[in-house]
Amino acid sequence: MSSGESALPLEELLPSREVTLSAEVFVHSLAPVGSKQQQDALVERLSGLVEEGLLEDLDLLVWGDSICTGSLLASIGSGKRIVSTIGEFYALAAKRGISISPFFRISKVTSSFADESFRRIVPPCRCLALYAERELVAVFPCLIDGVAYTPEDAVAALERTRESSMSSRALADESI
C-alpha cells in the first residue's frame, strides 16, 4: 500500500478502551487436523486477555465445515444462531467498509443422486468476533483496503493496546 492511500488501520477497526469488550471464537470442529494448534493458541491468548481484564468474556461456537442455509436445521437452535451471526458479520462489513466475502465462500451445491440443490456457506476454520457492550464491532478474518487480517492479528492489536495502556500507567505513576 502506498503512503498516499488512506487505509482503515486495524487499530481503528477495534473499539476504544473505554468500552467493555467480549470475544467469540468460531471453529470448524474442536480438533481439526492441521489447525488444532492455531485454535488452541488463539484461545490461550484470548483467555489471557480475559484474565487481565481486557476482555470481559470469551465464548466458543463450533460451526462445522459448511452451513446449508436452506436446511430446516439452519432455522432452529445453534443453526439459526450461526446463520444469523454470519448475516451480522456481512452487515457489519458493509457498514464499516471492509470485506469478509473471501473468507466466507458461498456456493450452490447440486446433487445428481438426490436431484436437489442447496446454497451453502463455507466459513473460515477460525473466526473471531469482537463485541463492545454486546454489539458486534469487528470480525476477523477480514480485508481492509485489500489487506487480510486474521484473528491472530486482532489479538496482537489488542495486546498492543494493553501494552501501551500499561506503559501509560507506568509513566503516570512515575510522575507522582
Q: Which of 108, 109, 64 is nearest to 86 (CA)?
A: 64
Strand partners, 58: 23
- Residues 59 and 27: their CA atoms lie apart, in Å, by 11
Predicted structure pTM score: 0.84
The values of phi and psi at residue 9, to 5°, are -60, 155
The dihedral formed by the CA atoms of 151, 154, 156 and 162, expressed in degrees to the nearest 10? -140
pLDDT digits (tens, 9 = 90+) for 138-176: 999 999 989 999 999 999 999 987 666 554 444 445 555
Strand partners, 117: 110
Percent of the chain with pLDDT over 70: 85
